[in-house]
Amino acid sequence: MQELMVTAPGKLAWIDSPSPHLASPDGAIVRPIASASCDLDRRLIAGATPFKPPFAIGHECVAEVLQTGENVRSVQPGDLICVPWKIACGQCAQCARGLSTACTAVQKYAAYGVPAGGHWGGLFSEEVYVPYADAMLVPLPVGTNPLAVASASDNLTDAWVAASTPIKRHTDARVLVVGGTESLGVLAVQMARAAGASQVDYLDTDDYRRAMAELCGANVEIGAHSTLDERYDVVVAATRDEQALNRGLLGLAPGGHCSCIGIMFEPPRIPLFGMYMRNVTMSVGACNVRPHIPKVLDLVNSKQCDPMLVCPQIVDCDDALQALIQPTAKCIMVRERITTSPQT
- The vertex-289 CA angle with 111 and 55, nearest 5°, equals 20
pLDDT bucket at 330, cuts 50 / 70 / 90: confident
- Condensed to tens digits (0 to 9), the pLDDT of residues 235-282 reads 999 999 999 999 999 999 999 999 999 999 999 999 999 999 999 999
DSSP letters along 16-44, please?
E-PPP---STT-EEEEEEEEE--TTHHHH
Least confident range of 71-75, 91-95, 236-240, 335-339: 335-339
pLDDT bucket at 342, cuts 50 / 70 / 90: very low
pLDDT bucket at 124, cuts 50 / 70 / 90: very high
Q: What is the arithmetic mean of pLDDT over 307-326?
A: 90
One CATH from 3.30.360.10, 3.30.70.580, 3.40.50.10800, 3.40.50.720 for 158-284: 3.40.50.720
- Condensed to tens digits (0 to 9), the pLDDT of residues 7-58 reads 999 999 999 999 999 999 999 999 999 999 999 999 999 999 999 999 999 9
Evaluate if residue 338 carries a pLDDT over 90.
Answer: no
The residue ranges of every structural domain in the chain are: 2-154+288-334, 158-284
Q: What is the arithmetic mean of pLDDT over 67-82?
A: 97
CB 13 within 8 A of CB 6: no
pLDDT bucket at 225, cuts 50 / 70 / 90: low
Q: Is 223 exposed, middle or buried (CB count within 10 Å of its CB: 0-12, 13-18, 19+)?
A: exposed
Specify the DSSP element, H or E, that contains 250: helix 242-250
3-state secondary structure labels for all residues of 78-130: CCEEEECCECCCCCCHHHHCCCHHHCCCCCCCCECCCCCCCCCCCCCCCCEEE
- Condensed to tens digits (0 to 9), the pLDDT of residues 76-118 reads 999 999 999 999 999 999 999 999 999 999 999 999 999 999 9
pLDDT at 235: 97
3-state secondary structure labels for all residues of 192-237: HHHCCCCEEEEECCCHHHHHHHHHCCCECCCCCCCCCCCCEEEEEE
Alpha-carbon Rg for the chain in angstroms: 20
Distances (CA, A) of 165 to 118, 160, 281: 31, 8, 13
pLDDT bucket at 227, cuts 50 / 70 / 90: low
The pTM score is 0.94
Q: Could you tell me which residue, 223 or 120, shows the higher pLDDT? A: 120
Span 2-154+288-334: which CATH code?
3.90.180.10
CB 149 within 8 A of CB 105: no
